[in-house]
Each structure stands twice: as C-alpha cells, then as structure tokens.
Amino acid sequence: MPVDSASTEPETERVAFVRNAPGSRRLYSDEPLLDRARCPIGSDSGAVVREVVDPMTVLTPSASRPISRRRSAMSLAAPLILLTLLTLAAVPPIGSLAAQDGGPNANVAEADRLLLPPAWRDVPLRDDLPSPSSFGGFEFGSRLWQHHELVAYFRMLDERSERASWEPYATSHQRRPLGHLTITAAANRERLDEIRAAHRGLTDPERSSAIEIDRLPAIVVAGYGVHGDEPSASHAAAVVAWFLCAAQDSRIDSWLDELVLRVDPCLNPDGFERFSSWSNEYAGANPSDEPWHREHRQGWPGGRTNAYWFDLNRDWMPLVHPESRGRLSEFRAWRPVLTLDFHEMGTDSTYFFQPGEPKRSHPRSPLGTRELTARLAEFHAAALDRMGTRYFTEERFDDFYPGKGSTYPDLSGAVGILFEQSSARGVRQTGTRGTRTLRSTVRNQVATSFSSFEGSVALRTELLENLRRSYREADQAARVDPLAAYAFAAPKDGGRLDRFAELLARHDIVSRRLIEATEVERMDGSRSTLPAGTLIVDARQRESRLLRAIFDRPTDFEENAFYDVSAWSLPLAFDLDQTELAAMPSDDRLGEALEWERPGVADGPAIAYVVSWSPAEAPAELVRLARAGIQVHAASEAFVTEIDGETRRFEPGALAVFPESDLETGNVDDATLRQVLAASPVLRWEGVRSGITSEGIDFGSGSWLPVPAPRIAVLIGDGVDRYAAGAVRHRLDLELGTAATLIDVGDLAGAARESWTAIVVAGGSPSIDAAGIAALEGWIERGGTLVVLGDACGWGAARNWFGLMPAPTASGTASNPERRPYAEADDDRALERIAGAIVASEIDLTHPIGWGLADPHVPVFRDHALMLARSASAYATPGVYDSEAVLAGYVSPRQRERFADAASIVVASRGRGRIVAIAEQPVYRGFFHGSARLFDNAVLFGPLIENR
C-alpha cells in the first residue's frame, strides 16, 4: 500500500510541485475496453503485448469520418471544411449540423454513443438535442472543451430539454459560473419544492417520521471535476447530461421518475480552464501519448487547484472560497441522499470507487452510510466488469478529513462516493498499464455515473431512510451524551469569533451569545462565570454529528497513516478558548450577535489616534491606511492612557497615527486624517488628547516605530509548494487587501534588487540558482525581511541561514538497522511522518512576532517533521512549543519528544536584515485565523525587528 501524506489522490504531491515522472513506455494494457480495436503488435517475454486503441481516437484527425460514412455522395473534403469552419466560428453550431440533409447530427451522435457503456448504446435518442460532438463541431475528446463550451452546452440542454433546468449557484474567483443541471421527470418538476422540503424534513427528527418516503423521488447530486486537471470528469458530465435529456427509453424514464438528478459539470471552473488551455496548447492535431510530452507535464502551478491554488476538495468544511460556499448552500437547501464525486488519479493506475480504506472512514460516519456505500459498489463493479475495465476498492483512498467532497456528505446524512479514473492528463497518454485516452476515461466515468443512478433507483427507499435514520441516531446519541453545549471566546478579538459564528451558520449549526456574564457548569463539575459575548453552541441541535466532527481534537487513531491531515479542529484553527458545558445556559441569557463598538473615529482634534492591534481586522486596517498614504506607527511597548475620561491599556503592537500638528511624525492634517479613519469598516480609532501617558511609553517616545508601507513579494514557481504559496497569496490579497507581487524563482536575481519590505517563501524547496541566492542574500543584508514558512525551513537551513534539530535516530544505527519485514516499510515510515497535526506554540508577546495575541499559546498547523533549532541569541526565538505540544492529530511518541527542545519560530539576523523562520504553516488552507496573526506580524512588522 503506497503511502502518500499529501492527499487522497497520490498522483499529486504536497511538498513541492514536481512533475510526474514518466513511467516506462509499454504498449499494452491490462485494462481492455469493450469496444476496443485490439492489435496484437508483438510480445514481451512471451506475453502477448497488445495496444488498446479507442476507435474514435484512431479516427482523428479526420473527425468527419463518422459523418462521411453516411454522406457518401459528398466528397470527404467538404465536411472537413464545414467542420473546420464550424470549429473556428465563435458561436457553437447548434442545429447547423442537424439541418444538413441526411441528418449528419445523428451520425455525430452515433460517434458519441461510443462514449456510453455498451448496454446503453442502442437506446433511441432525440436527434434535435445536439450531442457533445455535434455541439462542439469536432469529435468530443479529440481536444479538451474549455469552460465556456461546457457551460454553453448545459445552457443549451436547459433551453431545449423539458427534462432539464440549469441553475447557477456561484461565480468563481475568475468570474466563471458554477451551476447544477437538474434533470427529472415532468411530474417531479412540478413538485420540486415539495420534494426538497421532504428531504430537509428527513433531517429533522421531530417531524421526520411523518414523511412518506415510499413514493418520494430521491435527490442525487453528481459532481464532476473538483480538480481542474482531471478532465474525464467534467467531460463525462456533458455525456451524462446529453444522454439523460435525449434518451427515449423506459429504463431512463424510471430513473427520472424515481430520482431528481443534479449534475454539477465543473466544480472548479478556474482550474478546469487552466488545464484545458494547457492541454489544447500542446496537444495538436495528432496528440502524443508520450509521458514526456509537454501536454502531460504541466507547468507550475498546474490545473488541479482553483484561482488561489487551493485544493477545493479540502474546502467543504472551511468554506474559504466562493465555489465551496455556493455548493454547500445548495447542498443544505436540497439535502441529497447521495453525492458522487468524480476524479482522476495517476496514469499508471486503473479505476477506483469507494468503499475506500476501511480503517480510515471518519469514526462519526453512520454505519448505514458505510453499508450503502458497499451496496452501491456492487452496481459500479458490475458496470465496469461488463466493459472489462479493471478497478480496485478498499485501499489507498480514505474518508477521514470532513472537508472532502466524499466525506462531508457522509457526516450529513448523505452517502458520498469518490470515483478515481487513471488519467490521460490530456488527450491520450501511455503509461505502464496501457494507453489512456480522454474518450476511454470519459466512458468509464459515464459508466459509474449510470451505475450510481441504477443503484439509486434500486436503493431509493434505503437511501432516503438512511438520511432520516442518521439524523435520528445522532439526535438520540446527543441526548444521552452528558455534553450539553460548547462555549467559545476570543478575548480582545470579536471579529474572529464573529467569523467563526458565521462559518457555523453556513453549516446550519446554530450559535447564540451570552447577553450578560453567566455562571455555567463545566463538564468537569466545576462552575465558572463566562463573560457576555461568549458564543454558545448547543451540542444537542440537529447538526450534532457534524458539529462534533468539526470540533473534534482526536489524537488517538485506529490507523496511524493518513493521506490527508489528521487534525482540523475548527476551534483550534480559530484559536478560540473552548469550554465544554454540562448544561445549556437558560434561554433568557442568550441572544443574537452582540453589537460591537461603532467603527470609525472619535471626535477630534487629537494629538494621536490609536487602535489596538488585537482585533482580527487590525492588519487589514494598517494596510488600508498605508495605501492611503498615512504613516502608521506601532507601539513597541505597552502604555496606559486616558480616552474620553476612561483609563485604557494598550499592549505592544497598538497602532497610532499622528496629525501634522505633530511636526516630527505627522504627514496629514487632522481633518483629512479623520476622514480616512472614519472610513474604517470595523475598527474604532480613539482620540488621545495628551502626549503623556499614565503608564508606559509617551506618545513622543522612540518606542513608537514607523511601520513601512507594505510592499510584499511571494516567491512562486518550480520547487515552491503551490498550496502554501496560494494560501499566502490569498491572505495578502483577499484578507489583508495588499498586492501580492508574485516573483518567479527564475527572476529572483533581478527582482531582489527592488525595495520589498518582505519576501515570502511559503513552502517547498524553491529552485533558485546561485545568482538568485546571492541577490536574495544581498537584499536581506541591505535590510530586507525574508519570511520562510513550513517545510521551506529545510531549504533555508540548507543555506545555513538558521539551524535544524538533528533527525531522530531509528532503532539500531544507520549502519546496522534493526531488521524489519519488507512489506512493512511503508507503514513504518508513515508512523514517523507528521501528516498534518495541530501543535501548541508558545509565543513571546513582547516580540513583534507576538504582538496582538491575547494569549501566548497559539495552535499552529504543521505537515512535516523538520524541527527548527533555537537561536544562539536568547532574544531571537520568539516561538517554542508548549510542554504538551500536540493538540490534535497523529504524532508518534518519538516525534513528540522532539518538540521539547525545538523552536517554532526563530529570527536570524543577517547584515541589516533578518530571516523570520516559522516552522509551521500559519495560514494553512486559509482558515487558521488564530495563527494567521504570526504571519501578518512577520510580513508587516518584520522590518521593525532589531538584532538583539
């Protein structure tokens, strides 16, 4: 069993973006296709070696062949010219082919029939609905569709088919639409609201028993292509939708009678478009099957991710992106009983469908869901057996992290099924297990789509019953669980708690606020008083299963090897104080969101305007003022001052702006300054009337440090971890509101001469040549701040910029290791990996890196086992680890010991500049809003750090 921490799809890699190593090129396949044209071409060691050829691909480049077969009266050239013209035309040629005498559209449709499983090829089809090839004007699968073609096809089906309606639900970052095509019988269409309401009702144990399911059509969502470079998924969606709309067959009628099918053709439009453009750029008229061909070896960052290089198949829980938010809101409005999630994996594999690795199902997923997953698998197996397609189950892929598209539904009453097709990664590619073509891989995905629909009809009442039972069981379990409620607080930072409450609401998890300080009973029997504003989450509400799953902090696991992270606890990611309560506070103590201080600015004139650095919104406010040309100062020490007659204490990091009446530091007059400050969307700037403070630094003190206007660059390109770089870019661009200048590793020699306030190496091991390294070091020595995150610390340590702790020693010695079984090598290594755990940093709050934190203990995420060595300077290790370092996730006992002496953050001085090395990923997957402050401080306040 191969172990790949990186993801559930081992075809891609986590640490750095390394292109697929091409496999040896062998011209045979052990995964034959039923409509194959097999050509014995030789033998290898006595075995018959055969090339498997998709007959439709063989027809290329003459896409006209299926047409010319019937149009024998015409010369071959005429339809070729016609097709070429149509392909060049901007408007899809709807109907133009069908209008030809002799019905050439039917011929093209016939070619597209080969994309269907054999059992469905003879079904009569409406020929006034263009098939994908006739719509596109070229043989479907001979090049990739682009996203606008896919959407145009679905809109056409919406217009022309009375069975289908297209409903957009979101717009991607790059402004591409996402939507569902709802396909069902006319009778169901008339009562869709009722069907939807019945599904939602099944999730409500109070009324679910009254819902009649015998005649209730089941809602099934088929989602394709959350990873943009897995093209058979979205291309299969077009074939599936065409067939469901065009088929004239009683079996299909029964699907549409008994099911409401929602086809989501492209879950990641921006990634899909990136890969389609890439493939079409290089494929040509005669696509090469050679793994070394440029088409099959994507340039950085590749097509898998969305516009910000996030893996959208990890975003179902954190909901950082518009694609996921829109999809989840649909999921919650419709409450499907089954969701299908179509992917591709490496070229050298076969086909996979769930059930996956049995020991790595989420422990809270219902037993009934697992049973239905296995029963549906029988339908997929039969469908692929009929086609001679090889497949595997129950290994490699897991269902553990709740933010995945096949796992989240499991925890929400639906059955989520993952499908993985070995990829042609383009039009065609030959690997160690034969040739994959886009067309043959589409056919497999269509087959398992249909087997899912067949299975859904056969298991319709069981699937509906599973939705009802899973909520009923969760309700019963919650009632007997002594845990009554969770209480969450974010001292000094209401914004972070608000965001947490908003995210819970997107998951239909209800939270309320204490409207006054209230005494509560904790789970350990003690009593304490929680302040007004504390967020209370009733543990016995409808989503009790899901909320436990996303609040969990597991550290013990049945199985200790993970493909994805083993820790995700949302409260830790938001760095919230969490209290578990034995009783819900009474209703009269609970209210809606509290009103925070009115944002804006106090009355002037003042000698300074100040704001605390603790609120989540403060870093974006600093950026906003800098962009407006206002010089902001940061307090490097605490002070106490009087504001409107009230004594207020400000901790280090507090920001001040001075009107020009202060001749040394002010650069804007009071009225203009107040105008800028008044526009603050969430923070309130207080006016200070006197320069003298009652405690700590006065306002003319040298301890007020001018903060340079941020000008931040992020290294990208070969060797850089695209996910980590994407998370940093997302933080800078969309959270802080500053431009993230993306510098390719190859350009560093020239670009490091610019006056960046900070350059970020987000992760991986950037491929920088000697000239680039020299330029970077020179830039640091002239005063630059280099911020190195996560496993890039290994790369930084290799340059001798700072040190790493020695690697742990295995039992035995390197020259004479303990003898172990060959079969256990992967598992042995997996046990020592840190595949994704949340650990507790302890931060020096007097250091600029710690400014604004309410508490020195900060949960941070790490996905590697490198340990930073502490600095030789006593003042340059702002972060270490708590004595109990591991908060959630699997970390072996031997690795746990290493945290005791290691550093979480070190600052290495170099000339007039410095390198800030953070061993963890403070902005991991865009939802670690607690530790994000460490990153913000590093890039915004890094230039203020002195060599001490």
List residues binding Zn ion (CB under 5 A). 9, 227, 230, 343
Give the tokens for residue 219: 């809602």
Is residue 294 packed enough to be buried (19+ CB in 10 Å), middle (13-18) or exposed (0-12)?
A: middle
In the bound complex, what is the minimum distance in angstroms from residue 288's beta carbon to Zn ion? 24
In the bound complex, what is the minimum distance in angstroms from residue 340's beta carbon to Zn ion? 13
In the bound complex, what is the minimum distance in angstroms from residue 399's beta carbon to Zn ion? 14
In the bound complex, what is the minimum distance in angstroms from residue 226's beta carbon to Zn ion? 6
Give the nearer residue to Zn ion in terms of CB position, either 347 or 614.
347
Dist CA 823 CA 827 (whole Å): 8
Using Cβ positions, the residue closest to Zn ion within the complex turns out to be 343
- Beta strand pairing status for 518-521 and 527-530? antiparallel
Backbone angles phi, psi at 594, to 5 degrees: -75, 150
CB 432 within 8 A of CB 24: yes
In the bound complex, what is the minimum distance in angstroms from residue 343's beta carbon to Zn ion? 3
In the bound complex, what is the minimum distance in angstroms from residue 558's beta carbon to Zn ion? 25
In the bound complex, what is the minimum distance in angstroms from residue 417's beta carbon to Zn ion? 14
CB 914 within 8 A of CB 777: no
Give the nearer residue to Zn ion in terms of CB position, either 274 or 496.
274
Dist CA 411 CA 814 (whole Å): 45
Cβ density class 448-468: b for 16+ within 10 Å, e for less: bbbbbbbbbbebbebbbbbbb
In the bound complex, what is the minimum distance in angstroms from residue 639's beta carbon to Zn ion? 53
Give the nearer residue to Zn ion in terms of CB position, either 230 or 258.
230
Give the tokens for residue 61: 């480049």
Q: What is the DSSP letter of 410?
A: G
Dist CA 693 CA 606 (whole Å): 14
Dist CA 619 CA 632 (whole Å): 11
Give the nearer residue to Zn ion in terms of CB position, either 5 or 518.
5
In the bound complex, what is the minimum distance in angstroms from residue 316's beta carbon to Zn ion? 14
In whole angstroms, what separates CA 713 from the centre of its chain? 23
Give the nearer residue to Zn ion in terms of CB position, either 223 or 495.
223
Give the tokens for residue 654: 């507090």
Give the nearer residue to Zn ion in terms of CB position, either 343 or 929.
343
Give the nearer residue to Zn ion in terms of CB position, either 343 or 624.
343
In the bound complex, what is the minimum distance in angstroms from residue 364's beta carbon to Zn ion? 24
Give the nearer residue to Zn ion in terms of CB position, either 133 or 234.
234
CB 808 within 8 A of CB 895: yes
In the bound complex, what is the minimum distance in angstroms from residue 230's beta carbon to Zn ion? 5
List 687's β-bridge partners, or say none. Answer: 609
In the bound complex, what is the minimum distance in angstroms from residue 400's beta carbon to Zn ion? 16
Give the nearer residue to Zn ion in terms of CB position, either 419 or 650.
419
3-state secondary structure 78-111: HHHHHHHHHHHCCCCCCCCCCCCCCCHHHHHHHH
Give the nearer residue to Zn ion in terms of CB position, either 11 or 842.
11
In the bound complex, what is the minimum distance in angstroms from residue 9's beta carbon to Zn ion? 5
In the bound complex, what is the minimum distance in angstroms from residue 421's beta carbon to Zn ion? 10
Give the nearer residue to Zn ion in terms of CB position, either 68 or 448.
448
Dist CA 570 CA 584 (whole Å): 21
Give the nearer residue to Zn ion in terms of CB position, either 231 or 794.
231
Apex 617 CA angle, 859 and 509, nearest 5: 65
Dist CA 943 CA 875 (whole Å): 16
Give the nearer residue to Zn ion in terms of CB position, either 258 or 264.
264
List 915's β-bridge partners, or say none. Answer: 786, 908
Q: Ramachandran region of residue 911, left (φ > 0), alpha (ψ -120 to 50) or beta?
A: left
In the bound complex, what is the minimum distance in angstroms from residue 352's beta carbon to Zn ion? 11
Give the nearer residue to Zn ion in terms of CB position, either 176 or 227.
227
C-alpha distance from residue 748 to each of 211, 771, 780, 897 (Å): 64, 8, 13, 38
Give the tokens for residue 456: 């859904």
In the bound complex, what is the minimum distance in angstroms from residue 197's beta carbon to Zn ion? 33
Any residues with CB less than 8 A from the CB of 507 and at least 6 apart, and which? 317, 328, 332, 543, 546, 547, 550
Dist CA 151 CA 437 (whole Å): 23
Q: What is the DSSP letter of 761?
A: E
Checking 23-30 for CB contacts under 8 A at 24+ apart, the result is 23/291, 23/347, 23/348, 23/431, 23/432, 24/432, 25/290, 25/291, 25/430, 25/431, 26/430, 26/432, 26/434, 27/51, 27/430, 27/435, 28/52, 28/434, 29/433, 29/434, 29/435, 30/390, 30/433, 30/434
Give the nearer residue to Zn ion in terms of CB position, either 305 or 641.
305
CB 570 within 8 A of CB 654: no
Amino acid at 570: L
* Residue 744 CB-half CA count within 13 A: 6
Give the nearer residue to Zn ion in terms of CB position, either 270 or 538.
270
Dist CA 652 CA 638 (whole Å): 5
Give the nearer residue to Zn ion in terms of CB position, either 398 or 543.
398
In the bound complex, what is the minimum distance in angstroms from residue 440's beta carbon to Zn ion? 18
How many CB atoms sit inside 10 A of residue 778's CB? 14
